[in-house]
Chains A and B, each alone.
Chain A
């Protein structure tokens, strides 16, 4: 049973997520390139992290005890940039500089350009390993900060991902949370047609993860999963978040064509109408 306070918190998060989805469309349209599909699928997860879970301080992005987020699927950068802007890490009017020469908003997130980005990514398979390293570092230093990483399901085909997951399980990193954006598609089609990753929850369990299976667009379920992870001792948590690629824009949903293709002007206008606004 949700309290009235809980409900209003979820509503507030949903409002932020809607803003992020609008930004993703505007940013990729303006840039003329980028990855709308996989940005829209992680939007609710990123928004929940940014506004309800991560202990971070935009005024002091390098605060040692902060929580850390590694966006392993670095091509979902537009969603993260937008959520970071809403959270105060950068001015919102900077968002439309995505992918322009000299911009801090590189096509794939870049820690040397934008404060608040914990690790530069873009080549899939490397985020979990960096997150494991950060979690080990935190444990060695006795810091309370937790480490979160978001990976893609196509990314689960990469051997590097499983090597790093194995290390996280082996070292019993209970300060590590791996979130799988299970949107069922990669660049060329459905993961299960190209190179099947199922049974994915069994795989995480076999790799010694406390494994949760949730609707990745249900903000209440996302927050509950984070609570569960925080209460888990002696092993890392894996959250298999069932999502929809292109979520929120009807003609992009479950269409892998929009993996790496920005909307045209007409498409952007249509998308923004669906999202209750205009270009």
Chain B
């Protein structure tokens, strides 16, 4: 784990967009004055006629994206998550989702790892907002390979999608075999299941490794595809391991943890702990130190894991 290769998810996205632009001459990309940061500038450089940097107008960018898509095109629209899911929410809801427009929103800078810009920019509610929209697919990649695969996968179907990317480089933890609606099992185990998305998938693997050292085998599921999600894999995890810890860089109120807890409570209730950001806004700081400050440290995750194991009577 220690020497894992890290990669910029934004670079992976931008490079993949260029490849998609080459193979599909109809694809159009929009951005709202953040094209250097989101990396859509790479597409803009190659295909200036099919790139629209509309300036600081995120809601209108989304309505324009819908208009372009309603004529039959595949449209990608990018900005930071706070603006894509926050500023532009109702444009996404009505113009894109209600119309079932073929717009792929790729939002960068999700979560606390935005760092210095602070709480105004650290979007912690987007997964909840976006998965609540009928017809919207929601994907939170853990690494570069998944980002590449997801950027391509959303072009394969007609309809809206939201991909949330992290600003910081992340270690490669998957083999990039992403499929919509399928969970990736990154580690086998039957004592407990760790389900994670995004930056916290690597953390879940670290936790599983620590547990392994003391003879506890944790299954690790990458839930990059949050909607649609892998209900079978979740049910299997509940049945086989009897306890689930979720890990996400998002408010616990409405994200992955809420999804897992509400689903299993109806299908196969087991003890669940949700590791995520509590009901507060983020703040400025060094990105990785912020994860610790907001309760997402490896140590906290381990404590939660041991608590679950005690609840299941697997340890004293």
**Partner-B contacts on A (CB < 8 A):** 31-34, 74, 99-103, 105-108, 110, 120-125, 154-155, 157-159, 186-188, 191, 194-195, 260
Contacts and interface: CB of A to CB of B under 8 A. Distances in A.
A107 B117 contact: yes
B53 interface: yes
Interface of B: 31, 33-37, 41, 53-57, 59-60, 82-83, 86-87, 115-121, 283-286, 289-290, 293
A186 B55 contact: yes
Given A34-B116, A107-B117, A108-B117, A123 B83 contact: yes
A195 B57 contact: yes
Given A107-B121, A158-B57, A159-B59, A99 B83 contact: no
Contacts of B41: 188
A108 B121 contact: yes
B55 A103 contact: no
A122 B56 CA distance: 13
Given A101-B290, A106-B284, A107-B284, A33 B115 contact: yes
Given A33-B116, A107-B121, A99 B284 contact: yes
Contacts of B31: 188
Contacts of B57: 157-159, 195
B284 A100 contact: yes
12 contacts: A32-B116, A100-B286, A101-B283, A101-B285, A101-B290, A105-B284, A107-B120, A122-B117, A122-B118, A155-B56, A159-B59, A194-B33
A122 B285 contact: no
Interface centre among A100, A103, A106, A125 (most CB of B within 10 A): A106
A108 B120 CA distance: 7
A99 B35 contact: no
B120 A122 contact: yes
A122 B121 contact: yes
Given A101-B284, A123-B86, A188-B35, A110 B118 contact: yes
Q: Which 4 A-B pairs have the closest CB atoms?
A: A122-B120, A195-B55, A101-B285, A157-B55
B301 to A, nearest CB: 20
A121 B117 CA distance: 11
Contact of B285 (A100, A159, A194): A100
Given A101-B283, A101-B286, A188-B34, A125 B116 contact: no
A32 B285 CA distance: 11
A108 B285 CA distance: 12
Contacts of B55: 154, 157, 186, 191, 194-195
Contacts, number: 97
Nearest to B117: A107
Q: Which of B54, B119, B289 has the most CB of A within 10 A?
A: B119
Contacts of B59: 159
A32 B287 CA distance: 12
A99 B293 CA distance: 14
A107 B34 contact: no
Contacts of B115: 33, 99
A114 to B, nearest CB: 12
A191 B53 CA distance: 11
A18 to B, nearest CB: 25
Nearest to A103: B284
B283 to A, nearest CB: 6
Nearest to B36: A188
B292 to A, nearest CB: 9
A150 to B, nearest CB: 15
Given A100-B284, A101-B290, A187-B33, 4 more contacts: A99-B118, A99-B284, A106-B120, A188-B31
A121 B284 CA distance: 14
A195 B289 contact: no
B119 A159 contact: no
A157 B56 contact: yes
Contacts of A158: 56-57
Contacts of B118: 99, 106-108, 110, 122
B287 to A, nearest CB: 10
Nearest to A196: B55
B42 to A, nearest CB: 13
B124 to A, nearest CB: 14
Given A158-B57, A159-B60, A186-B55, A123 B33 contact: no
A90 B36 CA distance: 35
Given A100-B285, A101-B290, A188-B41, A154 B116 contact: no
